Amino acid sequence: ESFLEVDLGAMCDVTHVSTAGRFPPTELYPPSEMLHEWRTQGLEAKSWTVIAPGAVGWEQWVTRYELQARLDGGKSWEPIETLKGNTDMLTEVAHDLREVCHNPKGLQCRYLRFVPVGC
């Protein structure tokens, strides 16, 4: 079973969680050597961040996940809610845990676990 586990370091009031897919590998274009050449020829030397050509394995995201929590010193993981995840690799999806937990302080815990249930 795959999951992402987060240790907040101490008991916290967590009001929001958000997810995004795997961000693509990027690089600057044109490369620095080419920029230098352009400048020596008097051309505008502007660069852009682009998706690295030929990169593979980064088009990944989770469409739904179960959020679980554990208290400081607690032994068991408590399921909080199955939440909507992402529809692409770049868009952030946020959830207000004050609404999910019906508590103005949000979710009180030390540990969070994100368990994918849809990919």
CATH code for the domain in which residue 69 is found: 2.60.120.260
Q: Are both 65 and 19 inside the same structural domain?
A: yes
CB environment 39-74: b (16+ within 10 A), e (fewer): eeeeeeeeeeeeeeeeeeeeeebbeebbbbbbeeee
HSE at residue 55, side-chain half, CA atoms within 13 A, is 13
Q: Are both 102 and 65 inside the same structural domain?
A: yes
Among 57, 76, 100, the domain-final residue is: 57
CB environment 86-118: b (16+ within 10 A), e (fewer): beeeeeebebebbebbeeeebbebbbbbbbbee
pLDDT at 77: 98
Residue 37 and residue 42: Cα distance in Å, rounded?
Answer: 9
pTM: 0.75
Q: Are both 102 and 62 inside the same structural domain?
A: yes
Q: Are both 37 and 78 inside the same structural domain?
A: no
pLDDT at 57: 75
When divided into structural domains, the chain yields a total of: 2
pLDDT at 49: 79
Q: Are both 43 and 73 inside the same structural domain?
A: no
pLDDT at 118: 82
pLDDT at 114: 98
Residue 117 and residue 68: Cα distance in Å, rounded?
Answer: 12
pLDDT in tens, the chain (119 residues): 899 999 999 999 999 999 999 888 888 787 778 777 777 777 776 777 787 877 777 788 999 999 999 999 999 999 999 999 999 988 999 999 999 999 999 999 999 999 999 87
Number of Cβ within a 10 Å radius of residue 19:
20
Range of the domain at 76: 4-23+58-118
Q: Are both 79 and 40 inside the same structural domain?
A: no
pLDDT at 34: 78
